[in-house]
Amino acid sequence: MGAVAIEQSTKTTRISKQRVRDGVATAVRLSRQVFDTTCETRVLVTLGLVAVLMLSAIGVVVSAHENRELFNTLSGLQQARDGYQREWSQLLLEQSALSAHGRVEHLAAERFNMVVPGREDIVLVPLMAPLAAR
């Protein structure tokens, strides 16, 4: 019984080795066919076009990504611009309020004890005639 088991084991090993050899031979034959096929002009042109198509697709993806990044940057800059515009408008309003004549007159009177001169205090200085006219 032990001899029968050994004999079956060697037969199984031979069969599996034969299957491996057949598989390798088939793989070599297929790879040779693929290699021979890729050397044909038609196939080379097709592979070249596929490569160009893939490069083009990658370019489109990169371009779309950069476009999104630039759009996000633009949106952020526009928001900053709008904030600066609001601040500028507020500063203009504040400037006009601070430079109003009534306010300036009030501060001059309050801080520096200045008063509006009366009619009797106003002196008109005549213009001198130009030297060439003499």
| Residue partners of 40: CB distance under 8 A and separation at least 6 | none
Do residues 37 and 43 touch, judged by C-beta distance below 8 A? yes
Output the pTM of the full model.
0.48
67-98 pLDDT, tens digit each: 999 999 999 999 999 999 999 999 999 999 88
Q: What would the 3-class secondary structure string for 36-90 be?
A: HHHCCHHHHHHHHHHHHHHHHHHHHHHHHHHHHHHHHHHHHHHHHHHHHHHHHHH
Per-residue pLDDT tens digits for 4-36: 555 566 667 777 888 888 888 898 888 888 877
Residue 43: Cβ within 10 Å count: 13
- The rounded distance, in Å, linking the Cα atoms of 116 and 123 is 14
